[in-house]
Structures are given as C-alpha cells and as structure tokens.
Amino acid sequence: MANDNYQSWGRTIKCNRAATEWQADALADAQGSLLPFGNGKSYGDSCHNDAGTLLDNRNHKDVLEFNPETGVLRAQTGILLCDILEHILPHGWFLPVTPGTQFVTLGGAIANDVHGKNHHRAGTFGRHVNCFEIARSDFGTQICSPDRHSELFDATIGGLGLTGNITWAELRLMKVASADIDQQIIRFSNLENYFALAGEADRNNEYSVAWIDSHATGRGFGRGLLLNGNHADNGNLTYQVSKPRISVPFTPPFSLINGLALRAFNQLYYHKQRKVESNDRVACSSYFYPLDGIGNWNRLYGPKGLYQHQCALPVENAETVVADLLKACQKAGQGSFLTVLKRFGNVPSPGLLSFPREGFTLTLDFPNSGARTLALMHQLDQITVQAGGAVNPYKDARMSAVTYQASFPRWQELERLRDPVLMSDFWRRVTLKS
C-alpha cells in the first residue's frame, strides 16, 4: 500500500509512503526498516520512514477493559482519544491529559508523551500510564510498567515510536463531575502582564494557557488572552465527537495565511474579548479542541504547508527569551498565525526523553515560505538552545542534529534501547547524520 494517507500535519514533506497494517509478526518478519504510525498528527517527519515502511495501528482500536469504579482503562493503541472520551465520559471519567486535538491515537500520545493545558497539575500523558504491552523484533512481546522492564517503559514514553510497537496500554483516568468547562478569559495588555498572571492562574485552575498576538508592537508587545478552565459541577456527562463545523475541501494553490490575514486575525481575536475578564460555561470540545471545529484547516497554508516551532524554556530567563523569540519573528517580517504560551509545571515525567520540563513553552506557526522561513526557524532554534531550552521533535520537520542533541543530551540512551528494525526520518536526520 503506498499513498498519501500518511502525510503529517505540517504537510511540508511530500512523497508517497509505503505502509502496512500492524500485525503481531510484523517486526519479526521485517524486510527493511519499520516505524509505528498513529494518526499523523505530528507536524513533521518524526512519524515518517520514507526509506522503509510504516506500521498502521489504526484498525486496532478496541477498549479491552474499563472499570467505571476505579477509572482504569485498557485499550488497543490505535484508538483515538475522542473514542476514549465517548466511552468514559458517561461514567464521570476524563482523560488525565489531552493535547489540542482529539484525533490522536493512544499509541501516539504515549510515544510523544504529549502534554495539555493542565501540565502544571497533571504533568504529561505518560505519567498516567500504568503499563503497556510492547512488541519488538529482537526479544518479542513484553509488558512494561514502572516496576517491570522499567528502563524500556521509561524509554518508550516519549520514545518517538523507536523502542517497539505498543499494542495496548492501561491508563488511569481523571474523575470529573461534568464534561463542560467553566472558562475564564483574562485579557492582558503585554508580555510582562502575562508573566505576572501565569503563576496564580496555574494555582487556581486545572487548565491554563495563553494565546499571544505575535504581531503587536510597542506597549502592546506580547498582549493576549489567558484561557483558564475547570470542569463544571453540573453533571453533564455527554460527549459527542465534535464533527468539524466547516471543512477546507481542497488545498488552495497558495497559502491563504499571508501577512495581511495574519495581522488582521490576531487583531480581531484580541479585540473580540471586549472585557478584561469574562466567565462562561463551554463544551469541553470547544475549550480543548477549538481547531478540530475546522476540518483540514492545515490546507489553508497551501501546497507548501506550515512549520511549527515549539520550545521549552527554563523559568529563570523565560520572559526575556520569549520576548527575543517574538522580536525575531517580527524582525523577519514573519509573524506567527497561532501563538501559544504556557507554563510547564515541575511534575516529572517518567519519559527518558520527554519534551516538557519545568519552565515555559512557546508555540509558533508559520506558513512555509521556503528559505526565509527556514532561516527564521534556525534562528529560533539558536535562541532556544543558547537559553538552555529544547525544541520539540514531534512538531519539527527540519531542525539540525546540533539543535536536537543540545535539546536532548541523553539521546544516546534512547538509541541504545531502539528496536534495531525501527527507524524514522527524523531520527535518521538528527542522530545518524551530524
């Protein structure tokens, strides 16, 4: 099977991919290199293996066990997070951590050790995994947990799919009284104000994240909206997988996200919030997954796609460095479309190479304008690394080996535990070529 269903979200890398459905003997019988594939919601090449074959897990999506008393769920790893939510919410349980899209598989969430708007309280996804079964080419199938094959357990959480194919996983869920979210939006007028608000917002709320108008200059530099949230107590426990309200039916011949549209959108979004503070009750899909409301929104970036740059920065210098990163974008005349700033808490992840670390994380999205975008991204990498930070591998499609290795100095430990038949384009790029 070779087709374009295996594109990643950024759509910057084009080619046909060979793929086969995951089967128990796939690794033992491997001809050439393989890589587990979830649902392609990573932005770049960490879910690609163009010299080999992808192992598609999406048909393996059953809930194997669920205890509504204890909130422990065991499922095959091809299941999407939205399907887990549909199964568990009527019983008063929620995902302990969810990323910004519900269309991610359980396997992908573990392999990237994803984070959500509650990182300051819950840490990463991997922290809530009791155990999983993993299949390897060299020593077959094993069950791993913090007490059993713990080295492989830790390396697999955030292990970018390189340590084996996870076939099922067991997760501890979070008890909630409602699917609805009591949302508080606070408008802040510059970056300094955000940093003054962030700590208290985290102390008082289960969820907190900020959107930044990356185009604003002068006194409004770094202005934005802080979106805090807590589960309501109204007992509404229904969840329907939110079908996109509208969908982008085809890829336009050029990016619709251009300089003018970027500036206008950012201004409008900021001014949409008229009061300094507002409080509403909203459906959880609108709080957690606003972008899922527009099907295939990545097509708006045209045939060249988009790059995302996400960095994690130490607490000590985060305010200065976030300002430096935003200024670099403005100076390059390439403001980001969607800019998100969030504090990462100090809850440790079991993952050997998990991306989140205590401090702040800034996420920037850019239409791919070729060499000038790549030059800007490289500059953002340098600012990040010099500040002692890290660049996120599963949002990346182009970082250098030097940037990756500075971001994840323990990468050789993962290489030692890598299944010898598993390989990704990303891993080839950042570890095998220097």
- Residues forming the site for ligand FAD (CB under 6 A): 9, 35-42, 46-47, 57, 77, 99-101, 104-105, 107-109, 111-112, 114-116, 160-161, 165-166, 291, 394
Beta carbons of 33 and 422 less than 8 angstroms apart: yes
Residue (103 or 221) nearer to ligand FAD, CB: 103
Closest distance between ligand FAD and the C-beta of residue 114, in Å? 3
Closest distance between ligand FAD and the C-beta of residue 136, in Å? 11
Closest distance between ligand FAD and the C-beta of residue 424, in Å? 6
Query: At CA 365, angle to CA 361 and CA 367, rounded to 5?
Result: 160
Residue (221 or 367) nearer to ligand FAD, CB: 367
Query: At CA 97, angle to CA 83 and CA 284, rounded to 5?
Result: 60
Beta carbons of 383 and 30 less than 8 angstroms apart: no
Closest distance between ligand FAD and the C-beta of residue 102, in Å? 9
Closest distance between ligand FAD and the C-beta of residue 348, in Å? 16
Nearest-angstrom CA–CA distance, 399 and 383: 13
Closest distance between ligand FAD and the C-beta of residue 155, in Å? 11
Residue (105 or 178) nearer to ligand FAD, CB: 105
Residue (167 or 216) nearer to ligand FAD, CB: 167
Q: Helices 318-331 and 371-386 meet at what angle, rounded to 10?
A: 160
CA-to-CA separations, 282 to 209, 230, 247, 279, 300, in angstroms, rounded: 16, 10, 22, 10, 27
Closest distance between ligand FAD and the C-beta of residue 421, in Å? 13
Beta carbons of 407 and 391 less than 8 angstroms apart: yes
Closest distance between ligand FAD and the C-beta of residue 60, in Å? 8
Q: Helix, strand or coil for residue 373?
A: helix
Residue (54 or 89) nearer to ligand FAD, CB: 54
Max distance between CA atoms of the chain, in angstroms, equals 62
Tell me how far the alpha carbon of residue 54 is from its chain's centroid: 20
Beta carbons of 65 and 73 less than 8 angstroms apart: yes
- Phi and psi at 17, nearest 5°, equal -120, 140
Residue (134 or 216) nearer to ligand FAD, CB: 134
Q: Helices 318-331 and 191-204 meet at what angle, rounded to 10?
A: 130
Beta carbons of 144 and 156 less than 8 angstroms apart: yes
Residue (28 or 291) nearer to ligand FAD, CB: 291
Q: Phi-psi bin for 222: left (phi > 0), alpha (psi -120 to 50), beta?
A: left
End-to-end CA distance of the chain: 32
Residue (80 or 385) nearer to ligand FAD, CB: 80
Closest distance between ligand FAD and the C-beta of residue 5, in Å? 11
List residues bridging with 231 in a β-sheet: 181
CA-to-CA separations, 9 to 13, 40, 217, in angstroms, rounded: 10, 6, 30
Closest distance between ligand FAD and the C-beta of residue 296, in Å? 11
Beta carbons of 160 and 150 less than 8 angstroms apart: no
Residue (52 or 335) nearer to ligand FAD, CB: 52
Residue (57 or 216) nearer to ligand FAD, CB: 57
